Amino acid sequence: MDVISVIRTKRDKGELSPEQIDWVIDAYTRGAVADEQMSALAMAILLNGMNRAEIARWTAAMIASGERMEFSSLSRPTADKHSTGGVGDKITLPLAPLVAACGAAVPQLSGRGLGHTGGTLDKLESIPGWRALLSNEEMLHVLDTTGAVICAAGDGLAPADKKLYALRDVTGTVEAIPLIASSIMSKKIAEGTGSLVLDVKVGTGAFMKNIEDARELASTMVGLGTDSGVKTVALLTDMSTPLGLTAGNALEVRESVEVLAGGGPADVVELTIALAREMLEAAGIKDADPAKALADGSAMDHWRRMIAAQGGDPDAALPVAREQHVVTAPSSGVLTRLDAYDIGIAAWRLGAGRARKEDPVQAGAGVEIHAKPGDTVTAGQPLVTLHTDTPEKFDYALGSLDGAWDIAPAGTAFTPNPIVLDRIA
């Protein structure tokens, strides 16, 4: 094998053979294929695509580059969830303990935020003492004793994907659906879960801006999971408006605890329960009611045990930003649009997110939302509050909010988008 022939095959719209795929992934992982050569191949894949057989083999080769986990020693079935990322998407936080309270084990390997989308690990690290990095043995122990674990993927899990993901991020090839699907599914299949529910976001604040692209991505990932023996289902969910009333690390933890306490924003509760029902069905658990587990406190009990098992103090005060700036409604009427992307960019600029993986984040930074589309607002009423430790960032964040909302005359009829747009299985 040689990498030039592999690049030329895909450049000329050919189908990569299983042997070519196995060789190029292994050689790139070992360093025998240079970054610029893999960049050329990734661009060829972006432009010319891959068929299902190619994507499946590419995914299998990335899985084979590292270790595979397994949870056969657990007494309960495993179910995991993956979100393609959005603004205010704190769903994993209440979802994992909720599903655990209903009888499944949830091995949730999560990531960090990059750009306008938040990261689950960054959010949880705002809890004093909480640890994202666990050994495989620690992960299994937390999962066995509490029913759920949320942690970072170990270095041994799909190392080929770690290299390729970083390369795609700096070469304009992030958008390639075959590479997105194989990146997500190689880690999830290697993780060893028995079933998987995918939350594929659609809208301005999501990676997939239109439902056709989201449906293609979801169908590809469901096919990969099914072909690998993992029962997989996908929900397409709306991300034109931020989820809940917060975007930021500690702000979203606080809101997640409100959901676990039986309150919280209606959209967060609705999506959490919808995903919990899908996970429980995929795991073969038929008689559990996630809405009841939220109401009776059992989900909160599992949350507290899970946080404590990873070194966190569930009773500790969460960080609060030192400075706040209130943005008010410019006119009276009905709020008809609140753009998720613009809110996410504002939170990022305030310090809640990062431009590079190495950048630090502020635990207390972010955006607090006081009105959602459909609400009647009055001129001068608070629309959002900006939070940061560095007040010189306010002007930078305010620049992203220019045009972030629409206010129509009072009495204007408004119909919100449904949270769940489609289901693919």
Determine whether 391 is exposed, middle or buried from the number of CB atoms within 10 Å of its CB (0-12, 13-18, 19+): middle
**3-class SS of residue 368:** strand
**3-class SS of residue 151:** strand
Structure tokens at 397: 């964040």
* β-pair partners for 233: 197
Q: Distance (Å, rounded) from C-alpha 20 to C-alpha 4?
A: 11
Residue in 98, 100, 126 with CA at minimum distance from that of residue 112: 126
Q: Distance (Å, rounded) from C-alpha 369 to C-alpha 90?
A: 15
Q: Distance (Å, rounded) from C-alpha 253 to C-alpha 92?
A: 10
Residue in 39, 183, 228, 240 annotated catalytic: 183
> Sign of the CA dihedral 300, 80, 253, 344?
negative
Q: Which residue type sits at 76?
A: R
Residue in 10, 116, 162, 187 annotated catalytic: 187
* 161 noted as active-site residue: yes
* HEC sequence for 173-217: CCCCHHHHHHHHHHHHHHHCCCEEEEEEEECCCCCECCHHHHHHH
Residue in 10, 57, 81, 82 annotated catalytic: 82
Q: Distance (Å, rounded) from C-alpha 200 to C-alpha 211?
A: 10
Runs of H (alpha helix) within 92-199: 92-101, 120-124, 136-146, 159-169, 177-191
Q: Distance (Å, rounded) from C-alpha 122 to C-alpha 366?
A: 12
Determine whether 250 is exposed, middle or buried from the number of CB atoms within 10 Å of its CB (0-12, 13-18, 19+): buried
* 82 noted as active-site residue: yes
* 168 noted as active-site residue: yes
Q: Which residue type sits at 93?
A: L
Residue in 80, 89, 161, 238 annotated catalytic: 161
Residue in 163, 168, 188, 302 annotated catalytic: 168
Beta strands in 333-374 (DSSP E): 333-338, 366-369
Q: Could you list the active site residues?
A: 82, 161, 168, 183, 187
